[in-house]
Amino acid sequence: MPEGVIVKALSGYYYVKPLEIETGGAGGEETIQCRARGIFKKKGVTPLVGDHIRFSHTENGEGVVDEILPRRSELIRPPVANVDLAVLVFSVREPDLNLQLLDKFLVHIEHSGLDTVICLTKQDLLPAESGGGNPVALVKELYENIGYQVIVSSSRLGLGTELLKERLKGQISVFSGQSGVGKSSLLNSLVPGLNLETSAISMKLGRGKHTTRHVELIELVHGGFVADTPGFSQLDFLELGVEELSTCFREFHSYAEECKFRGCSHTHEPGCKVREAVEEGKIAASRYEHYVQFLTEMKDKKRRY
């Protein structure tokens, strides 16, 4: 029975790219439009974009999804299976770089257990700084010191594209970030001839219109897939427990182990090594401030629900 990967799900149909079983890579065939067997609905299982599946051909040239192979990972929002890498796309201008929102996305991705690359777009819109240091360089240094790879890019100048292509090779990657930051433009520069719809920025609102309406995997020339996902500017923490939040700030780990109290919230307890590290400049003040904001937000939601 042939195997494939679901590259798009739309209106009850699953579009499957056949796989070459010997190599695990996508074959040269076109996608096959498939329906899912009724047994999945009975079991409460929904095939996802990114699923590796076994399928059979039908007489009308379409196909049927017969079996979903075990998943390596599963994202709830956006709904994608078998993702290896999350590329968080944030612009340095139009809209301005929002570190609180970036940290919110990072919490979500850390909780999902995925590897992460931060891609800062629209470098060409940044004016030459007269003093005070390059803000992009400072942000790059901040997150690289935590352990994240940061790629500075400009679709207009072709900056960062080759480095990103190399990082995406052979993986399923999900592109996510605030709307209007240039995700579609970046994907267009990665995949020649793709021509995804892009949107102008509303200068009044400071954000773009949502141009992506469904999750779709786009095959890369040198192997692997990238997912363009519906643009959204908020994430909620309903699926993340309050006690798990600090574990999603990776620079807290080594200090949290030395805290005086087990289960320390790192907000008020005596002998907290995380707060001590913040005071000593070993943990960035902006990161700690966002942690406290998120913790307060989560506790408020828990009380309401």
**What CATH number should be reported for the domain holding residue 154?**
3.40.50.300
- What residues pair up with 52 in beta bridges, in sequence order? 5
CA distance 50 to 255: 37
Q: For residue 32, tell me if it sits in a domain.
A: yes
Q: Are residues 9 and 141 in the same domain?
A: no
Residue 234 within a domain: no
Determine the pLDDT at residue 277. Answer: 98
235 domain residue, yes or no: no
Q: How far is residue 230 from each of residues 77, 200, 209, measured CA to CA in Å? A: 10, 16, 11
Residue 119 assigned to a binding site? no
Q: Is 288 helix (H, G, I), strand (E, B) or coil?
A: helix
CATH of the domain at 263: 1.10.40.50
Instruction: Return the H-helix or E-strand segment holding 275.
Output: helix 273-279
- Check: CB of residue 161 under 8 Å from CB of residue 190: yes
- Ligand-binding site membership of 259 (annotated): yes
The stretch 60-73 carries a mean pLDDT of: 94
Question: How would you classify the pairing of strands 115-121 and 85-91?
Answer: parallel
Q: Is residue 59 domain-resident?
A: yes
* Residue 100 annotated as lining a ligand binding site: no
**CA-CA distances (angstroms) from residue 178 to 48, 147, 183, 248, 294?**
23, 22, 9, 20, 18
Cα dihedral 291, 296, 297, 301 in deg (nearest 10): 140
DSSP state of 182: S
3-state secondary structure of 265: coil
Owning domain of residue 285: 242-304
Is residue 266 a known part of a binding site?
yes
Question: Is 180 part of any known ligand binding site?
Answer: yes
Q: Are residues 215 and 116 in the same domain?
A: yes
DSSP letter, residue 154: B
Q: Is 44 annotated as a binding residue?
A: no
**Residue percentage of the chain with pLDDT more than 70:** 83
Cβ atoms 126, 118 nearer than 8 A: no
Predicted local distance difference test score (pLDDT) of residue 79: 82
CB 78 within 8 A of CB 227: yes
124 among annotated binding-site residues? yes
The answer to whether 177 is annotated as binding is yes
pLDDT tier for residue 302 given thresholds of 50, 70 and 90 = confident
Global confidence as pTM: 0.80
**Residues 219, 187 share a domain:** yes
Banded pLDDT at 128 (limits 50, 70, 90): low
Q: Which of 58-72, 95-109, 212-226, 241-255 has the lowest mean pLDDT?
A: 212-226
> Does 184 show up as a binding residue in the annotation?
yes
Domain boundary among 228, 262, 279: 228
On whether both 165 and 208 belong to a single domain, the answer is yes
Q: In the predicted model, what is the mean pLDDT of residues 241-269?
A: 95
The pLDDT of residue 116 is 93
Residue 155 marked in a binding site:
no
Residue in 174, 150, 145 with CA at minimum distance from that of residue 48: 174
Closest CA to 298 of 244, 232, 231, 256: 244
The stretch 44-63 carries a mean pLDDT of: 94
Domains in the chain: how many in total?
A: 3
267 annotated to bind ligand? no
d(CA 15, CA 89): 26
